[in-house]
Amino acid sequence: MVAYYLDSSGLAKRYARETGTVWVTGITDPQAGNELFISLITGAEVVAAIARWQRTGLVSTADATQVIHAFRWHCQFQYTVVAVTRDMVDRAMELAEHHALRGYDSVQLATALTLQGERAGLGLSPLIFVSADKDLNMAATQEGLAVGNPNDHAHPNDLSTP
C-alpha cells in the first residue's frame, strides 16, 4: 500500500480527461489499495474547477453535476480529508514566502508536510505528493517530499482538453 497526498491540480485529473488521467485513475482506484489524502480546501478547489469547465463549455451541465456528485462521494468514502489548522496556515505563510507559492498551494504543501511528519512519527511509510504544478512540485521536493507529477505519466488513453 502506498500513501498519496493529492493536491487539487493532481486530483482534478481523475475527473477530466487530460494528460495524467490514466495514472491518477490508477492510483485512486480502490482496487489499488492505496491510502489517499487530501486537504479540506481541495473540495472547494476541485468543485470550482469543475464548475469552471461547465461554465466554459468543456463539459455539459449534466456531466458537471455528475462529476461533482462523484467527487463528493469520493471525499466521503475514498479520501482521508485532512483538516487545515492554524499551525498549518502559519507554516503555509512561511512556505509561501520562502518558495513564492500561491496561497492555496502553500496550504496544500503545509498540509502534506504536516501529515508527512505525523506519519514519520508513527513509523509509517512516507507520502508521495501528487501535483501537476511544477512550481509546487519543486517546492515540495526542496522540502523533502517525494513527488509524482501526473503530467509525467502520459498514456495513449489520455485525451487532451484545451
- CATH number of the domain that residue 105 is part of: 3.40.50.1010
Give the residues of the chain that fall short of pLDDT 70: 159-162
> What are the pLDDT digits (tens) for 34-43?
999 999 999 9
Give CA–CA dist 50/38, Å, rounded.
17
Per-residue pLDDT, 157: 76
Query: Is 158 contained in some domain?
Result: no
Query: Is 134 contained in some domain?
Result: yes
Per-residue pLDDT, 160: 47
Query: Is 162 contained in some domain?
Result: no
**To 10 degrees, the CA torsion angle through 155, 63, 32, 149?**
50
Query: Is 32 contained in some domain?
Result: yes
Give CA–CA dist 75/84, Å, rounded.
15
Per-residue pLDDT, 62: 96
Residue ranges of the alpha helices (H) in the chain? 8-11, 21-28, 40-55, 61-77, 86-99, 103-121, 134-142
Per-residue pLDDT, 159: 60
Give CA–CA dist 42/27, Å, rounded.
17
Number of separate domains in the chain = 1
Query: Is 45 contained in some domain?
Result: yes
pTM, two decimals, is 0.93
Residues 6 or more apart whose Cβ sits within 8 Å of residue 13? 19, 20, 21, 23, 24, 25, 132, 150
The angle that helices 40-55 and 61-77 make with each other, rounded to 10 degrees, is 170
Full domain range(s) for residue 106: 3-151
Query: Is 111 contained in some domain?
Result: yes
